[in-house]
Structure 1
Amino acid sequence: MNYIGKILPVDGYFVELKNDLPTEYNLSLTHLYQPLIGIHAISLFQTLLNERMFTANTPQTHHTLMNYLNLPLDEVYRSRIKLEAIGLLKTYVSQSSQATIYTYQLQSPFSPAGFFNDAMLTQLLYHHIGEEKFSLLEKHFSKKKDRQTDVEVTATFNEVFQTFTPTMEGAPANQSLEEEAQQMTQLDFSWMENMLRQRMIPINRVLTKENRRLIMQMMNLYDLASFEVEKSVLWALSEDNILNQDEFKSACHDLFKTKNNQQSVRLTEKQNRKKTMRDRPLTKEEQLIYELETISPKQLLEDLSNGKQASEQDMKVIREVMTSQGLPAPVMNVLIHYVLLQSNMKLSKAYIETIASHWSRANLQTAKDAMEFAKKEKERYQGKQKSNKNNSYRNKSTEVIPDWFKDRNKKKSTEAEDIEDVDKQKEQEEIEALLRQYSVSNEK
């Protein structure tokens, strides 16, 4: 990905340290974090840590960091967002007509013991360094649990990294690791609660605060659908309905390997990061594509139903189609939108399955691809109908056609053109109406 121009050499920066560093923070950085984010990111963290004394009153320029690290500016920026995504840095920016000043707030890394208490980081480290080295580090480090007006522009984990080369996209971006616990109360676990309730399993015993956090982490880490997480949870429950976390993590990993052809989990940078506010689309169609790329199918259904909860039957249809045909979430969103518009807002299972199989063979991966493909197919179908109609006229009797009939055909041709114009206008109105629904939903 091109990082050139994200920051300028003349942009200034201050450095802050939010909390005291653990005594063994250097061990954590070199042995635990460095395998995940690389030596350049760790060097940037340590350089910023020692830069605090020089930025107490006067900001330094990013040209200084380029000289200290012996790196081009785009590599400095790349290292910065890795630190942000892994939870070691928060970035704030203050812009004026005179200058742009960044404040880099260093976050305390986990102590070695604390690192091994974080399920997501330990799973990532395991896949990066292998079982033998991981076991050595885990055994060595204690597993005891450690208990302004500036705008934050910190990159999130899912914006920067992916854990594999995906065959399906559309996992929602999560918050930074530090904010993750604060977002747990807002995470919708209703689907899991319904599943447990139907099986007469005590919800509070399974969905503890710690287990909710673990479920969310594994869901993001392995890009699992809700039904796959349900299967893993049921597999890992004991007779007393206690979730065995190790068995749950193993089950999630096995599901990941099965659906990704035994592919290993690796922390890699995303080639297409989620757009920032400055990169947001301008035209109404681009806005619609952006919404369809970032929203979940469940949220789309609810937005199209004026905020009403999506029915279990509709969600079952969508889940079965997505899993059987392997459609990415953005493509599924376009398919839902298309089918609802074509069938008077009814989600016909047979109709959606027919189109889904066609789109799956076309290997559509993005909302934009799906929208363009749907338009071309519709135009091709209309052109074929028109061609068949013309052929039928040519194959009929060669008798002399009276003038009044010719005039009638001309009138029909004009009417067809008028209908085509009306269709285009209707399509634009549908786009605008859908965008208004998104706006109302987001304001709520």
Structure 2
Amino acid sequence: MRAGDSFTMLNRGKTSFDAETFRLLYLPIIGTDAFALYQMMLSFSTGRISHFLEYLNLGLNPFIEALDRLSALSLVRVYDDHSSLYFEVKSPLNFENFLADDFYRQLLISRIGENRVTALAKTMEPKGKEISKKFHEVYKVNFDREATPNQSLKENQFDMGAFKSLMERQGYRLSNENQDSLTLYSLAEKFELNWYELFKQAERTANADKSLNMNHLIRSLSATSQPQPALSEFPKVFADLIVVSKAHEPDEFIRQIKAQAGGFVSSDEHKILANLTRQKLPAEVQNILIHYVLVQQKNASLSPNFVNALANDWMRNKVFTAEAAVKRILEREEQATAKAKTEVTKHSTKIKKEAPKWSNPDYENKTSQEELAKLEKIRLDSLKKLEGEQN
């Protein structure tokens, strides 16, 4: 986006705007630059970005930041057609809907505090008997056709109420009500999860005391959201292993492997798996680890040191899926094979014929005069013998 880029407002004059609500509720969240930019957008129809910069006395980067703040709260939609930009200004929520929306309420609390938000939410209670008419008392509705229920305006929004209700029923809790709530909204939007899908992920990564662990949740979602290689990219035996690992819990998986070999699962092995679960290593990854240690490495049982070393390596490398675990194993084997070849090459180059001692520049000749005389006699005798054969 450049100052010289042209823009067009798509729906000028078609938005409702309550200045007091916008000032009291939106201003603390979006800041003064975005606050002014939104109102200026209600006045322009076409022009260049430089017009906004001149009127608001802003640089290009602060303008872009203000525009991002507006679009993040669905106050403006931005479309880039390369040759020009299109802005669609949306109406802000009214006072009641804003404070009734848990996301916006939590966002406002994070800026001005809960006491001030509570004070803003207070309303005057009506007095006297309500004499308002019911809809059906005034309007006659034709029921000849089956009515189609209106879709909720929030059907695509994260339902924090449902999330928290299930969370409380299951005994889970948030460590930081305000900050964790905002994080959950952000994760639901970023990874396109509904409230139940996000709850299952949060449940799997929760702490032992049943508080939701946002850091583990973020790491897990980030890892699992990465495109996974297709099963056809793996050798068939590993592709089959990946499928099986996703269908069993670790306790059942190790029991089946041990049963096939005529063994049993020890209490120590149960403890090892329980520890891996506490460390938030996914079940499918634990199964790959079990198979690697017991089948590929042909160990009779799980060793805490070996298992923990592997688990630490995998977690550091963000191995949170069966595909990633198998890929890590194959990489490990390739590295081991390459190292072995290197060692063989180094060993072969060291096998040389030992050089004679006299070739050493520090060699000292310690032959006695008597030995030298004997050697000289042998040399002369050999020379006479050689001359006699030639004659």
TM-score, with length taken from structure 2: 0.46
The structure whose Rg is larger is 2
TM-score, with length taken from structure 1: 0.42
